[in-house]
Amino acid sequence: MSTELAGSFSRSLRARYESFKKTFFFFTRSPIATIGLAVVIFYILVGIFGPMILGGNPWKTTQIFEYNGIYIYNVPQPPSLHFPFGTTFEGYNLFNGVVKAARIDLMVAAIVVFSGAIVGTLLGSIAGYKGGALGDVIMRVTDVFLSIPFLVLAIAFLVILGRNLTVMVVALVLIWWPTYTRIVRGQVLSVRELKYVEASVAAGASSFRTIFKHVIPNSIYPIFVQVSLDFGNVILTLAALFYLGVGFAGYYTPEWGNLIGLAASLGGGLPAITRYWWTVTIPGLAILILVVSLNLLGDGLRDVMDPRLRR
């Protein structure tokens, strides 16, 4: 009996591996999606190794006061050999900042997205499986949270509860969990309706295990897709929060939105930005490229998972 089970387990594992290989193969057929994946991996590598290579405090952008005897504190330098991305107001080295920001942005986004996914999935499973009053309450709560605009709730949290990392993560998780709850609950409900699940429950199998045996494989894919899309959205929201000045830590925190905000606030508005356009363009491009790649990745995943849309 146990060898049977073990055999079937390893067979199902192998089957999963085979189907994963097939999925990966289909994925790489789309050149755009592969580019997305490559860029994302590049950013992750930069985030992990960049600050180490650059040295210095990973939570602060390097500030440079003078260079070659010239006092450059308040005058942003254009990109050059010594300052690959130039400097921004108050002498912050843009290259330094952008690279270090990769780590911070990715880390915070990862924490937020994964926590949100886990919390959301749990609540969604409960809502779908138990159903009834508890399920309804959970869904109403998701309705409520989905009615509050993302940025606004985060700002409120940060103002009232203080501007630190914990508050920010909690606020963002609160914003993002409802989507996963909806997805998972939908999956659980539709799996429950499947005839063979009904049949196996009637035959005596525990409904809990049967349902989850089928729910998890089916919902992993939409959750993956959602995770990669949400990553992008979280990063955008983070950048916006920092730009507005409600992020944690101070002026010198390496974070892409913060760097753009520096130009806007410290530089004194539009004339400065127009003249020293690289202070704004470059960090923005860093965000744009990453989020586009994340979206490409998500779209690629979605195209691969959905057999109808396959070419």
Partner 1 sequence: MKMYVYVIRRLILLIPVIIGVTLITFALSHANVSLLIAGYLGRVRTPQHIAIVKQELHLNLPVYEQYFYYLGNLFTGNWGYLAPTEVFDPGTPVVVEFQRRFPPTLELAVFATLLVFLMGLPLGVFSAVKKDRLTDQITRVIAMTGVSIPVFWFGLLILIAVGPNSILPMQLRLVGVGQIPPSYYYYPHSSILEPWVNTKVSGLTRPTGFLLIDTLLYGDWQAFLAGLYTLFWPSLSVAFTSFGLIVRFLRSSMLEVMNQDFIRTARSKGVPEYFVVRKHVRRNALGATTTVMGLFFAGLLGGVVVTETVFGWPGMGRWLFYAAIGGDMVSVMATTFVFTIVIVTANLIVDIIYSYLDPRVRLE
Please state, as a whole number, how many other Cβ atoms lie within 10 Å of the Cβ of residue 282: 21
Encoded amino acid at 258, one letter: N
The answer to whether residue 249 forms part of the interface with partner 1 (CB under 8 A) is no
CB of 212 to partner 1, least distance (A): 26
Whose CA is closest to 97, among 293, 295, 240, 278? 278
Pick the piece of the chain touching partner 1 (CB under 8 A) from 14-22, 42-50, 184-192, 286-294.
286-294
Pick 197 or 286: Cβ nearer partner 1: 286
Count of residues interacting with partner 1 (CB under 8 A): 52
Judged by CB under 8 A, which stretch of 53-61, 66-74, 83-91, 287-295 contacts partner 1?
A: 287-295
Q: Which stretch binds partner 1 (CB under 8 A): 14-22, 39-47, 50-58, 264-272?
A: 264-272
Q: Which of residues 155-174 bind partner 1 (CB under 8 A)?
A: 155-161
C-alpha 91, offset from chain centre: 30
Q: Can you tell me which of 79, 186, 217, 284 binds partner 1, judged by CB under 8 A?
A: 284
Q: Which amino acid is at 190?
A: S
For the bound state, the minimum distance from the C-beta of residue 162 to partner 1, rounded and expressed in Å, comes to 8
Nearest Cα neighbor of 294 from 29, 34, 37, 112 is: 37
Q: What's the rounded Cα separation, in Å, for the pair 261 and 58? A: 19
Among residue numbers 25 through 54, which ones bind partner 1 (CB under 8 A)?
none
Q: 20 is written with which tokens?
A: 């994963």
β-strands 70-71, 66-67 pairing: antiparallel
Tokens matching residue 16:
């999963």
DSSP-based three-state secondary structure for 26 = helix
Q: With binding defined as CB under 8 A, does residue 270 bind partner 1?
A: yes
Distance of CA 269 to the CA centre of its chain: 30
The answer to the question of residue 133 lying near partner 1 (CB under 8 A) is no
Check residue 277 for interaction with partner 1 (CB under 8 A): yes
273 is an interface residue for partner 1 by CB under 8 A? yes
Q: Give whichever of 211 and 301 is closer to partner 1, judged by the CB atom.
A: 301
Give whichever of 185 and 210 is closer to partner 1, judged by the CB atom. Answer: 185
Report in angstroms the alpha-carbon separations of 121 from 183, 212, 220.
8, 12, 10
User: Closest CB to partner 1 among 91 and 178?
Assistant: 178
Strand partners, 92: 63
CA 290 – CA 281 distance, rounded (Å):
14
Residues that bind partner 1 (CB under 8 A): 140-141, 143-144, 146-153, 155-161, 179, 232, 236-237, 239-240, 243-246, 257, 260, 264, 270-271, 273-275, 277, 280-281, 284, 287-288, 291-292, 294-296, 299, 308-309, 311
